C-alpha cells in the first residue's frame, strides 16, 4: 500500500499555491484525484469541499474520474488534424475498443483528447503518461501500445 492521502497532501499545506501541487502529487500517485482525497485536501487546507472540488475540476489536467494506468492523449490541434490525427484516433479507438474519454475495462488505458503538446514538427502526436510518440500513423498503434501491455 502506498502513502496515505494525508502523507501526500500535508507537505504542500503551507505553500503558496500548495493545493495545486497537492493535486499534482495525488494525480501522480493515482492517475486521478479520488473523492476521499478531495475531502482530505479540503480538511488539510481548511477550505470547503466544494472549493477543493472546484479547483480540481477547473484545470483540465486534473481528473476526478478514475483513469487507466496509462493515459493516452491524442493531440487534436490544427497541425495534427491536417496530418491525419482523425485516422490515428479511429485506430486507437478500434485497437482499444473504447471511445475518447473512456477507459478500457481492464483499467489499463484511458483515451483522452488534448490540445497542442508542443511537438508540431512531428505530427500527428500522442502522449502516453506525458511521453510523446511522434509521427504516429494508424499502422504504428499496435507496436506503440505493445510496449505498455
**How many independent structural domains does the chain possess?**
2
With the C-alpha atoms ordered 123, 127, 128, 132, is the resulting torsion angle positive or negative? positive
Query: Is 136 part of any domain?
Result: yes
Q: Are residues 51 and 80 in the same domain?
A: no
In this prediction the pTM is 0.79
Q: pLDDT tens track of the chain, all 149 residues?
A: 578 999 999 999 999 999 999 999 999 999 899 999 999 999 999 999 999 999 999 987 899 988 999 999 999 999 999 999 999 999 999 999 999 999 999 999 999 999 888 899 999 999 999 899 999 999 999 999 999 98
Query: Is 134 part of any domain?
Result: yes
What is the Cα–Cα distance from 89 to 83, expressed in whole angstroms? Answer: 12
- What is the extent of the structural domain holding 132? 70-146
Query: Is 40 part of any domain?
Result: yes
Query: Is 65 part of any domain?
Result: no
**End-to-end CA gap in the chain:** 23
The pLDDT, as a whole number, for residue 7 is: 95
CATH number of the domain to which 96 belongs: 3.40.30.10
Amino acid at each position: 500500500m502506498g502513502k496515505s492521502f494525508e502523507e501526500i497532501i500535508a507537505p504542500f499545506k503551507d505553500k503558496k499555491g500548495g493545493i495545486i501541487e497537492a493535486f499534482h502529487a495525488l494525480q501522480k500517485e493515482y492517475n486521478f484525484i479520488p473523492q476521499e482525497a478531495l475531502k482530505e485536501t479540503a480538511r488539510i487546507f481548511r477550505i470547503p469541499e466544494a472549493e477543493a472540488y472546484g479547483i480540481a475540476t477547473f484545470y483540465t489536467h486534473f481528473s476526478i474520474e478514475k483513469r487507466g494506468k496509462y493515459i493516452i492523449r491524442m493531440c487534436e490541434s490544427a497541425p495534427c488534424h491536417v496530418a491525419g490525427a482523425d485516422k490515428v484516433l479511429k485506430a486507437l479507438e478500434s485497437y482499444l475498443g473504447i471511445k475518447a474519454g473512456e477507459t478500457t475495462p481492464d483499467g489499463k488505458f484511458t483515451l483522452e483528447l488534448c490540445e497542442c503538446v508542443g511537438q508540431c514538427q512531428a505530427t500527428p502526436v500522442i502522449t502516453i503518461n506525458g511521453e510523446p510518440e511522434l509521427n504516429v500513423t494508424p499502422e504504428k498503434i499496435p507496436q506503440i501500445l505493445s510496449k505498455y501491455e
